[in-house]
Chain A
Amino acid sequence: GAGVSQSPSNKVTEKGKDVELRCDPISGHTALYWYRQSLGQGLEFLIYFQGNSAPDKSGLPSDRFSAERTGGSVSTLTIQRTQQEDSAVYLCASSLEGKRGTVAQPQHFGDGTRLSIL
């Protein structure tokens, strides 16, 4: 079946421009995560959406970053006034929500958006 879909797969833009990254999760998955991976770094959590609850934004690195999830499905990550340090692979993942106290439900990752800021 269809997995997590992200677009665009690659984005090259000039410093100072705004960019918008899209994530379409697996149907029926209530949890959606954004991560980024910089060269040589591990995965860095950015933001987490679960159903209608307020998102966990604790990983957003600055106020230039924002995300929304419309209708509990598609999510958009927006980076305003991009900087060179924003260059990274931005990964989206979705999962079913596990029961409290159990191990995490497997996260299904998209292929990522490779963002390059010139």
Chain B
Amino acid sequence: RKEVEQDPGPFNVPEGATVAFNCTYSNSASQSFFWYRQDCRKEPKLLMSVYSSGNEDGRFTAQLNRASQYISLLIRDSKLSDSATYLCVVLIYNQGGKLIFGQGTELSVKP
């Protein structure tokens, strides 16, 4: 079983739709959580960190449930420019700060 698992997608949605990505992690020592997005042939870029209380940045909302070891990302009013691959990432400090990446969920927003 992978340490960080995501829906592989692809998610094909129309503009304006709301889309939710799910992620689960298996290592209870995971201490920091992030969502990255990755555009074609570009490096993954940090989209947002994920906090226990949940956090929002514009159209993006991230949630963390430590008891269930579950992370989510909600995108409202999706735009064409949201088309990318979204990576769920966890940081495990007791392994020297090892970053564990999910394989990514592909999103394609259509006109």
Residues of A within 8 A of B (CB): 10, 33, 35, 37, 39, 42-45, 48, 59, 89, 91, 98, 101-104, 106-109, 111-112, 114
How many A-B pairs have beta carbons closer than 8 Å: the answer is 62
A113, chain B: closest CB distance, angstroms: 11
26 contacts between A and B (CB under 8 A): A10-B96, A33-B43, A37-B99, A42-B36, A42-B44, A43-B44, A43-B45, A44-B43, A45-B42, A45-B43, A59-B43, A91-B99, A102-B108, A103-B10, A103-B83, A103-B85, A104-B38, A104-B39, A104-B40, A104-B41, A104-B42, A106-B106, A108-B103, A109-B101, A111-B98, A114-B96
Q: Which of A42, A98, A103 has the most CB of B within 10 A?
A: A103
A91–B97 alpha-carbon span in the complex (Å) = 13
B-side interface size class: 20 to 34
Contact of B45 among A42, A102, A103, A111 (CB under 8 A): A42
Distance in angstroms between the alpha carbons of A102 and B41 in the assembled complex = 10
Question: Which residues of chain A are near B62, meaning CB under 8 Å?
Answer: none
Return A97 CB to nearest CB of chain B, in Å.
Answer: 9
**A43→B36 contact, CB < 8 A:** yes
